[in-house]
Amino acid sequence: MWRLHQIKLALTSLSLVIGAWLAVWLGQPKPAAIIDWFDVLGEGTTLLVCLGWLLLIVSRRPKSQVTNWLFLGCSLLTFSYLLDVLDEFFRYPEHLRLMSWLESIPAPFGMLALTLGVLGWLKEQRVIERQLQSREQVLREHQWIDPLTQLYSAAYLQALLQREQAAQQQLNLLVLDLKGFSHYNRQHGVAAGDTLLRHLSELSLSLLRPADVLCRFAGDRFVALLPATGTTAAELLALHLKHQLDKHLTTGAAVQLQYAVLPVSPSERIDAIFTRIEQVRFQPSQPSPVTQPA
Amino acid sequence: MHYFLQDDPCLPARSSLMELLALCERRGLSANELLSGTSLFAADLHKPNARLSPRQLDKVIQRASRINYGDSLPLLLASATLYQQDLPLGKLLLQQKNLGKALACLYFFRQQLQPLVSLSVLCHQGRLSLYFSDSIGLAPLHQFTIEHSISLLLVLFSHYGLDANSCRQQVRIELCRPAPALLHDYRHHWPADIHFMQRHNRLSFPLAFLQQPGSTATTKEVLWLCRLQRHYSPSGMGLLSYSRRFLQRCLPVQPTPEQLANELGLSPAQLKRLLRQHHSHFSQLLDEARQQHALQLMLKPKQSNRQLASELGYSDEHNFRRAFKRWTGLQPSAIKDWFLI
């Protein structure tokens, strides 16, 4: 990540070096007897923490407006704290005000920039949450995310079902499965199979409604949780999904999407639901009107 | 070399590691992260005769299992290994005339795919049972290789046209490990009757499966390639399985630790230390060897408990009965039921 911020890093290091050089050039070193080591310790720690923030931002954030504000704030603060530490070791001539300006002016501006950055960050988080809505509902557990498709795994589905059932919600599950997936794997290799799964999950996500949650159950089987949807509406949604996916997946006739709608009642046990998902009978596949020859 | 230890670089990287690295890479775990601390480097592993030790493989596998799909990793890896484009053995296994021939090939060339599995095969009343035991004393690696081998077999079953339903009814898998929290992953990848917390790691299926027809392609060239590949695969077996085999061959005379040390070219003290490093000891190995031998002997018709006890080197019948109960949880007379399940 840090490679994205090379110019910013170079400018910051340059300004830090210039600041330090000015302090050394203009100031007289203080004798060791009058250095206040408590001050040095306190200001030094502040400087180190600020540097740590800077490094965290550089190593974790992508290139964006928000990153720029955060970075600017942190680097101004770092600059000011560096001079703060240095003036414990150097005494500047009385008539020269430059060093004290350089020390005190950047700090409030840095704070301001940092605040702007954090505000932007919160806004960004809100947008990302909206973007995530089809992948997760109100639960968030990062260890349950399937690393291949970035969807939640069956453990998450279990937790979600428990929650919905506690709320006595009647809901429908849409089970999606790829017919002929193992044959596809055999012919094109497992890497191609993985890519296909990734495409499938991205496409289905874009086709489902914002309130639906799509999970990867196991292998090539996906389960979408459709809250507040009647069985007929769920069937229609599934049919639409199948037509669109058959049109967009570039695998030809080798792999076909099959689906089934499972109504779930609030009193049903979770492991019974899981067994039903495993042994589900899919709708008999009809040739979709899109691929049918005219 | 007849046997290898945990730290001997004996496993060819190409067949044991490269697919795992690719699989994890596609799931966002880079090769460098996976290999850090193992003194292996991704660039070196691409060389044709790059090797690694069982301990290094164990480390990599433990690290790979830390991502949340830990449990199903061996299951994913099996089809990835078999359908790998540049692995001649994979082609050979998939192009045999019938499943029986494919399994025979797998058994013959097993050092290339699964050098760490110590396998014994028993056939009784129309069912074939495969027992997996530890060969090198590394528990996570052992678990992984067993699940990988079972998945390989099940992928072969489905490749040779056995449908999931008939497998589910007729294939039985027993594993020593406790059941994972969510079973559906296993059930999805393993169409079989799966039992956890058992005394043995075994897979059994009807002999009739072996007749399942396959392809008619000729395999001469691939066979030749596989023979060439044998130079790269380890020639020996793990310390534990080697010792177990030696002890089993010594029966009914009860061998001493000194004899085993002599066979391995070690001093008795060295042997003791090595076995401790491999999380085992002499009497445990002897017990396991007797257990293997007992099961093989009991396949032959009608032997009294006294005969069996003397063939296994027990001083009397009573000791044999007690040991047998410990191994299988059954009386020796009930052995038939045990094979039939």
Question: What is A135-183 written as a DSSP string?
Answer: T-SS---GGGB-TTT-SB-HHHHHHHHHHHHHTT--EEEEEEEEETHHH
Q: Do residues B291 and B299 touch, judged by C-beta distance below 8 A?
A: no
Look at residue B214 and tell me whether its pLDDT is greater than 50.
yes
φ/ψ of residue A211, rounded to 5: -80, -15
Chain A residues in contact with chain B using a Cβ-Cβ cutoff of 8 Å: 143-148, 153-155, 158, 182, 185-186, 189-191, 194, 217-219, 221, 274, 277-278
Predicted pLDDT at B69 = 60
Beta bridge partners of A226: A172
DSSP result, chain A: -GGGGHHHHHHHHHHHHHHHHHHHHHPEEPPGGG--HHHHHHHHHHHHHHHHHHHHHHHHPPSSHHHHHHHHHHHHHHHHHHHHHHTTTEE--TT--HHHHHHHSHHHHHHHHHHHHHHHHHHHHHHHHHHHTTT-SS---GGGB-TTT-SB-HHHHHHHHHHHHHTT--EEEEEEEEETHHHHHHHH-HHHHHHHHHHHHHHHHHHS-TT-EEEEEETTEEEEEEET--HHHHHHHHHHHHHHHHHH-TTTTSSEEEEEEEEE-TTS-HHHHHHHHHTPPPPPP---TTTS--
Helix (H) or strand (E) holding B214: none
Distance CA A249, CA A203 (A): 9
Using the structure block, give the residue that is written with the tokens 């090539």.
A220
Q: Which residue of A has its CA nearest to B180?
A: A155
pLDDT in tens, B230-260: 777 777 888 898 999 999 888 888 889 999 9
Mutate which: A153, A190, A222, vs B, most B CBs within 10 A: A190
Our CA angle for B39, B40, B44, nearest 5°, is 140
Where does the pLDDT of residue A291 fall: very low under 50, low under 70, confident under 90, or very high at 90 and above? very low
Q: How far is the alpha carbon of B24 from chain A, nearest alpha carbon, in Å?
A: 9
Nearest chain A residue to B188, by CA: A218
Helix or strand holding residue B33 (H, E): helix B31-35
Q: From B77, which residue of chain A is nearest by alpha-carbon distance? A: A190
pLDDT attached to residue A293 = 41
Query: Radius of gyration of chain A from Cα atoms?
Result: 29
Q: How far is B166 from chain A (nearest CA, A)?
A: 14
- Chain A partners within 8 Å of B187 (Cβ): 218, 278
Q: Do B184 and A154 touch (CB under 8 A)?
A: yes
Q: What is the mean pLDDT of residues A38-47?
A: 93
Residues in chain B whose beta carbon is closer than 8 A to a beta carbon of chain A?
19, 22-23, 26-29, 67-69, 72, 76, 79-80, 83-85, 158-159, 181-182, 184-185, 187-189
pLDDT tens across A76-128, in order?
A: 999 999 999 998 898 888 888 888 888 889 999 999 999 999 999 999 888 88
- Quote the crossing angle between the two packed helices B18-26 and B54-65, to the nearest 10°: 20
Determine the pLDDT at residue A268. Answer: 84
Q: In one letter, which amino acid is A218?
A: A
Residue B139: the pLDDT is 86
Tell me the pLDDT band of A294, cut-offs 50, 70 and 90.
very low
Contacts of A253 (CB under 8 A, 6+ apart): none
Q: E strands, B234-286, where?
A: 237-238
Q: For residues A90 and A29, what is the distance between their CA atoms, to the nearest angstrom?
A: 4
Q: Min CA distance, B26 vs chain A (Å)?
A: 7
Element (H, E) at B256: none
A191–B188 CB contact, under 8 Å? no
Contact B240, B117 (CB under 8 A): no
Of A185, A274, A277, the CB nearest to B79: A185
Mean pLDDT computed over every residue of chain A: 85
Contacts of A190 in chain B (CB under 8 A): 19, 23, 76, 79-80, 83
Contact between chains at A146 and B68 (C-beta distance less than 8 A): yes
The pLDDT score that the predictor gives to residue A134 is 63
Which percentage of chain A shows pLDDT scores above 90? 26
Q: Is the ipTM of this complex over 0.90?
A: no
Share of chain B above pLDDT 70, in %: 96
User: Which tens digits make up the pLDDT trace of B22-48?
Assistant: 888 888 888 888 888 888 888 888 887
Three-state DSSP state, B118 = strand
* Between residues B70 and B272, the one the model is more confident about: B272
Please check the confidence at residue A16 and state whether its pLDDT lies above 70: yes
Which pLDDT score is estimated for A290? 44
Q: How confident is the model at residue A180 (pLDDT cuts 50, 70, 90)?
A: confident
> pLDDT confidence of B282, banded at 50, 70, 90?
very high
Residue with tokens 């027992």: B131
DSSP state of B19: H
pLDDT by residue (tens digit) across A222-258? 999 888 888 888 889 888 888 888 888 776 667 888 8
- Reported as half-sphere exposure (CB side, CA atoms, 13 A), residue B63 has a value of 20
The predicted-structure confidence for B63-101, as pLDDT tens digits, reads as follows: 888 775 645 788 888 888 888 777 888 888 888 888 999
Which single residue is written with the structure tokens 């795994």?
A153
Please tell me whether residue B232 adopts helix, strand or coil conformation.
coil
SS3 state at B12: strand
Chain B residues touching A160 at Cβ < 8 A: none
Residues A107, A34: Cα–Cα separation, whole Å: 26
- Three-class SS of residue B131? strand
pLDDT at A133: 67
